Amino acid sequence: MVGEKRFLDTVSNRVVLKTRNGRDSQVWRFDMQYRTLKNKGYSTAWSHSLDMRNSWMYVYGTGSQWHQLFRYNPKTRQLYNQRGKVMDIQNGGTIKNNEGEYVGAADSKPEKQSQQWMI
């Protein structure tokens, strides 16, 4: 499955797949109060969150707007934003699991391995 050997990381502020390297940019936590996924790599204050407002995913300052609010479905292992888009690997649907592959938003297709994540 995609994600078992790769971690979400950031290059600049764009979210990509990377091999585990111990960088703080690969450390994420779910903030229950704000329903956001915060990234440690930008500050020790955990002030930046995953942002999924269009087809690409970025990390921006936390604003708790619809594009930063998430829920996780443990049955399908999909991560949804408030508009129903899911986190997906942007490689045309093939499971290449390439280093540095961009992560973005897509329509939900629970059978696609590129949309299944371990949290």
CA–CA distance, 67 with 53 (Å, rounded to integer):
5
Place of tokens 């329903």: 35
What does the mean pLDDT of the chain come to?
A: 85
Radius of gyration from C-alpha coordinates of the chain: 13
Q: Model-level pTM?
A: 0.81
Query: All domains of the chain, ordered by start, with CATH?
Result: 7-115 (2.80.10.50)
pLDDT of residue 1: 40
Query: For the sheet containing 86-89, what is the strand order?
Result: 70-73, 78-81, 86-89, 103-106
100-114 average pLDDT score = 89
pLDDT 10s digits, 49-69: 999 988 889 999 988 888 899
Binning pLDDT at 50, 70 and 90, where does residue 97 land?
Answer: low
| Identity at 98, one-letter amino acid code | N
